[in-house]
């Protein structure tokens, strides 16, 4: 949906396919200014500027071709999911500033329910846990680790 923070793409659009970023050798970032302290990554094909291969807040330059196959698999999986199967979605830490994941989870859950399936939507978010009223919706206003530990304990006891 958003791409990968571990892959890079050319900002010039030279045609290079996305490639893995060498995270271990990335220059450090100044935590006060959030500026890179060194040479930024360059395209493996044209030596032009490179960027992470993910959707940014305001972004007209993201090459989505590498995520189209995954998106199609995602859509096919949920379309073919039998209404007889219980769907449980954990939405962890998704806020409202960029609600793309929240919107997608809500859509998938609603479509499964419309086909007659049962779907549990569990929203884990310390500050923005509100979720629409439904018997199978659960709001957990907790940090992710704390919520997952509680869920694990409930499942193993």
Do 31 and 91 share a domain, yes or no? Answer: no
d(CA 58, CA 122) in angstroms, rounded, equals 28
Last residue of a domain, one of 37, 65, 93: 65
Among 13-22, 71-80, 131-140, name the most confident range.
131-140
Residue 13 in this model has a pLDDT that exceeds 80: yes
The chain-wide mean pLDDT, for the chain, equals 89
CB atoms within 10 A of CB 91: 19
pLDDT in tens, 58-109: 567 777 777 788 888 888 998 888 888 899 999 999 988 878 889 999 999 9
Most distant pair of Cα atoms in the chain: their distance: 56
d(CA 20, CA 155) in angstroms, rounded, equals 37
Q: Bigger pLDDT: 145 or 63?
A: 145
- Split at pLDDT 50, 70, 90, the class of 57 is low
Task: Please check whether residue 71 lies inside any domain of the structure.
Answer: no
pTM for the predicted model, two decimal places:
0.68
Do 141 and 92 share a domain, yes or no? Answer: yes
Do 100 and 126 share a domain, yes or no? Answer: yes
- Split at pLDDT 50, 70, 90, the class of 3 is confident
Is the Cβ–Cβ distance between 121 and 91 less than 8 Å?
yes
How deeply is 18 buried, as exposed, middle or buried, from its count of CB atoms within 10 A (0-12, 13-18, 19+)? buried
Query: What is the rounded average pLDDT of the residues 21-37?
Result: 90
Residue 54 in this model has a pLDDT that exceeds 90: no
How deeply is 123 buried, as exposed, middle or buried, from its count of CB atoms within 10 A (0-12, 13-18, 19+)? buried
Q: Looking at residue 75, what is its pLDDT?
A: 87
Do 41 and 102 share a domain, yes or no? Answer: no
Do 9 and 41 share a domain, yes or no? Answer: yes
Do 94 and 59 share a domain, yes or no? Answer: no
Task: Please check whether residue 127 lies inside any domain of the structure.
Answer: yes
Domain housing 92: 82-156
């Amino acid at each position: 949906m958003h791409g990968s923070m571990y892959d890079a793409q050319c900002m010039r659009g030279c045609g290079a396919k996305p490639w893995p970023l060498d995270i271990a050798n990335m220059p450090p970032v100044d935590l006060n200014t959030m500026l890179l302290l060194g040479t930024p990554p360059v395209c493996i094909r044209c030596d032009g500027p490179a960027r992470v291969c993910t959707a940014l807040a305001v972004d007209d330059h993201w090459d989505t071709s590498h995520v189209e196959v995954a998106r199609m698999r995602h859509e096919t999986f949920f379309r073919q999911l039998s209404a007889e199967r219980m769907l449980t979605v954990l939405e962890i830490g998704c806020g409202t500033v960029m609600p793309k994941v929240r919107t997608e989870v809500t859509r998938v859950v609603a479509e499964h329910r419309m086909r007659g399936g049962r779907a549990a939507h569990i929203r884990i978010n310390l500050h923005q846990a509100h979720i629409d009223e439904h018997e199978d919706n659960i709001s957990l206003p907790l940090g992710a680790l704390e919520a997952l530990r509680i869920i694990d304990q409930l499942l193993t006891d």
